[in-house]
Amino acid sequence: MKRFLIFLIPILILGLAADPGDFVRDIAIKELNFEVPEVSKEEIAPGIMYYHDENGEFPIVYLDIHFYGGESTLGDLPLETSSLLADTLKYGGSKDLMDEALVSRLEALGASLSISPGYESFSISVSFMTKNQEEVCSLLGDLISSPSFSEKAFENSKKKMIEAIKRRNERTESVGFRKIREVIFRNFKRSMPPMEDSVNKVSTEDLKTHFHDLLKNRNKSVVVSGKLDEPGMRDWVTATLAANASDEEKKSDTLIPAEVISLEDLKKNFTEDKRNQFFIEKDVNQSMLIYAGLIPPHNHPDFFAIQILNYIVGGGGFNSYMMQKIREEKGLAYSAASVPRFEKKFGVLYFYTLTKNDSLKEADQILRTILSAETIDKITEKEVEDAKNAIVNQFVFLFTNRHAVLSNQLTFDEDDMPEDYLQTYRRKMFDVQLKDVKRVGAEYFYKEKLKSLIVSSKANLDKHYPGEKKILQPEDSILPPEK
């Protein structure tokens, strides 16, 4: 499941050059008013939530099925099982249409199939022409009810994953974000990247065990929109998913407990690991700098103030301090940004930029100044009001696509957001005061609350960060923490 974020489309204002506290002085941003659309949802069978909208303008149907199991529910199975299942399921086909025959038939009908593994969920998505609903659903039903798990598809999936592992250190950004994830989620499966030796240990029986668990034991959500035969779709969902589910008594006997990560767990990790800065060696001409810290879950009252401060600091495109100070004034980077990722039980806040090796230390010093009381305490009422208006004006983009409306509502429900979350969103955003913004800055944004990670060449790290430190290779584990 792709996590919900309110991404802000940058307002491209060229030629801005202002001091923190003054950079939006000439920008007038007014609030946009509109009505929040209603969403139809219901539990159509035990453990199956159904989100639907039959008001599509075009003869196209979009269908997503989310199984609430993934890497977090693998138990003793290898971590790579969920990803291998997704690829093998798609290209292994059903027992009637094995290997690429099923996906080829879908493509011949103009349909598009994707299967996505995740930490907490496993998703099957398909889009197709309205006139082909019955046949596409029949093919998808066969895939779910009687997958072939062909040896050919399984071996190809393993080869593709091993090749991806061998190439994952080619891009600096990939290394940086993977390693900072290891820092944040240390001691949890979520921090662990796939490994070649582990891939080779996965068996088709592991795939079958995992898929059986998803189908029989896990709750599900279905999101469907477009011009469709809704009664027919409802019947198909019930027949395909509910009929394959175990009863509650059998489920309790076989259910693998999910790995649960709480904000308290992550805070404990942060406290126990005394290292505040991590260095990853990679022979590059452009270094990557990341700061990351913990924030509350999606439904926490600080959500709104964090959004506002994030916009001002790094989430507002060219209107942000990071872009103004790192790119526009100093020309040290093409881009610099921050993004909060809110989840059900915790959130993570990232600040990152890529810069020339020679300017790494200077970019780091600028970012550290931004992430401090020196900058955040000088934020003005006008900056806060302009950020509110900009965020609220981008709020409308959540509703430009009916399928996106349903998908976003599903995420809100998964994160235990209030029923009136969307209806009260703008009011709560405008209720945030300057003092609230400065308070969350001190609590979540200051550099002392964050851990940083730098990806650069050894020579460059020795030049800019001399002294005793351990420089890790991209494939070195973050564990164990230094004593």
Question: Tell me: the pLDDT tens digits for 277-325?
Answer: 999 999 999 999 999 999 999 999 999 999 999 999 999 999 899 999 9
Half-sphere exposure of 135 (CA within 13 A, CB side): 14
Q: Which residue has the tokens 């790579």?
A: 80
**Confidence band of 177 (pLDDT split at 50, 70, 90):** very high
Q: What's the pLDDT at 242?
A: 86
Q: What's the pLDDT at 467?
A: 82
CA distance 365 to 182: 24
Q: What's the pLDDT at 212?
A: 94
Q: Over the chain, what is the mean pLDDT? A: 90
Would you identify the CATH topology of the domain 263-472? Cytochrome Bc1 Complex; Chain A, domain 1 (3.30.830)
Q: Calculate mean pLDDT across residues 221-238.
A: 96
Instruction: Give percent of the chain with pLDDT exceeding 90.
Output: 82
Q: Calculate mean pLDDT across residues 468-474.
A: 87
Question: Would you state the structure tokens that stand for residue 246, as one six-digit string?
Answer: 């175990």
| Parallel, antiparallel or unpaired: strands 451-456 and 220-226 | unpaired
**pLDDT exceeds cutoff 90 at 479:** no
Q: What's the pLDDT at 20?
A: 39
| Parallel, antiparallel or unpaired: strands 220-226 and 48-53 | parallel
Spell out the residues 6+ positions from residue 440 whose beta carbon is closer than 8 angstroms to its own: 302, 305, 306, 309
**pLDDT exceeds cutoff 60 at 6:** no
Q: Which residue has the tokens 């900058």?
A: 375
- In 3D space, the residue among 87, 100, 450 whose CA is nearest the CA of residue 275 turns out to be 450
**pLDDT exceeds cutoff 70 at 11:** no
Q: What's the pLDDT at 197?
A: 97
Q: What's the pLDDT at 34?
A: 58
CA angle 293-452-278, nearest 5°?
130
399 or 250, which is more confident:
399
**pLDDT exceeds cutoff 80 at 245:** no
CA distances from 273 to 189, 296, 460, 471, 483 (A): 17, 20, 25, 16, 9
CA distances from 308 to 246, 384, 429 (A): 45, 7, 8
Q: Tell me yes or no: is domain 47-244 CATH 3.30.830.10.
A: yes
CA distances from 181 to 138, 290, 404 (A): 40, 11, 27
CA distances from 184 to 189, 261, 269, 305, 479 (A): 11, 11, 8, 23, 12
Q: Calculate mean pLDDT across residues 461-469.
A: 88
Q: What's the pLDDT at 397?
A: 84
With beta carbons less than 8 A apart as the criterion, state whether 330 and 362 touch. Answer: yes
With beta carbons less than 8 A apart as the criterion, state whether 108 and 101 touch. Answer: no
Locate CATH 3.30.830.10 in the chain. Answer: 47-244, 263-472
Q: What's the pLDDT at 7?
A: 37
Question: Tell me: the pLDDT tens digits for 387-434?
Answer: 999 999 988 888 888 999 999 999 999 999 999 999 999 999 999 999
What's the per-residue H, E or C state across the chain? Answer: CCCCCCCCCCCCCCCCCCCCCCCCCCCCCCCCCCCCCCCEEEEEECCEEEEEECCCCCCEEEEEEEECCCHHHCCCCCCCHHHHHHHHHHHHEECCCECHHHHHHHHHCCCEEEEEECCCCEEEEEEEEHHHHHHHHHHHHHHHHCECCCHHHHHHHHHHHHHHHHHCCCCHHHHHHHHHHHHHCCCCHHHCCCCHHHHCCCCHHHHHHHHHHHHHHCCEEEEEEECCCHHHHHHHHHHHHHCCCCCHHHHHHHCCCCCCCCHHHHHHHHHHCCCCEEEEECCCCEEEEEEEEEECCCCCCCHHHHHHHHHHHHHCHHHCHHHHHHHHCCCCCCCEEEEEEECCCCEEEEEEEEEEHHHHHHHHHHHHHHCCHHHHCCCCHHHHHHHHHHHHHHHHHHHCCHHHHHHHHHHHHHCCCCCCHHHHHHHHHHHCCHHHHHHHHHHHHCHHHCEEEEEECHHHHHHHCCCCCCEECCCCCCCCCCC
CA distance 400 to 420: 20
**Confidence band of 251 (pLDDT split at 50, 70, 90):** low
Q: What's the pLDDT at 250?
A: 61
Q: What's the pLDDT at 399?
A: 83
Q: Which residue has the tokens 């309790």?
A: 252
Q: What's the pLDDT at 252?
A: 58
Q: What's the pLDDT at 470?
A: 87
Q: What's the pLDDT at 205?
A: 97
**pLDDT exceeds cutoff 80 at 24:** no
With beta carbons less than 8 A apart as the criterion, state whether 67 and 123 touch. Answer: yes
Q: What's the pLDDT at 135?
A: 98
Instruction: Give percent of the chain with pLDDT exceeding 70.
Output: 89
